[in-house]
Amino acid sequence: MTEADTQPTPSRKGSPARRIGRELLTSLLPALLLALFVRTLVAEARMIEGPSMQPNLYSGFAILTEKITYRLHEPQRGDVVTLNLPGEKVPLVKRVMGLPGETVAVRGGHLLVDGAPLSEPWVSYWGGPDYAPTRVPAGHVFVLGDNRGDSRDSRSFGPVPYSAIRGHVVLIFWPPARVRALP
């Protein structure tokens, strides 16, 4: 036997509380930072509140919003988006209907783009306030709820700047019977 074999093994430094603290710091902190990174720059989940997107999205549905698409290209007509608007407590979920440079109007809940009615297969509930013909400015979109009779949308607050768009809704993941990707 050598002298090294007879030496006691050094114990881990620090008290059990210190070891637990170090373990938490080295495993939970990176996980928390990764989650914050993903939520801020990549995707986030949220619950639908209110009836404005029925019959496609009901209050209580959980959706996934991705945040990368609009860094690569502008929003497209028909995209379902989440919006951060001044004075709103929670982000709104609406459908992009009017694009920059177009003149939009709403009559009886039906959208007119440059004077022509637009086919909107996702709308089942028409109505709500009319909206006089208005040109959508550059860097903005005109958004509407799918439930036109019960939606606070661009008819109330006007065209929305791109900077207010939080992300593109891509998936319903709750309730399980309604899980599906949004086209």
Active-site positions read 52, 94
Contacts of 58 by beta carbon, 8 Å cutoff, 6+ apart: 48, 51
Per-residue burial over 59-98, b = 16 or more CB atoms within 10 Å of its CB, e = otherwise: eebebbbebebbeeeebebebbbbbebeeeeebbbbbbbb
Which secondary-structure segment (H or E) carries 157? helix 154-157
Give CA–CA dist 109/114, Å, rounded: 16
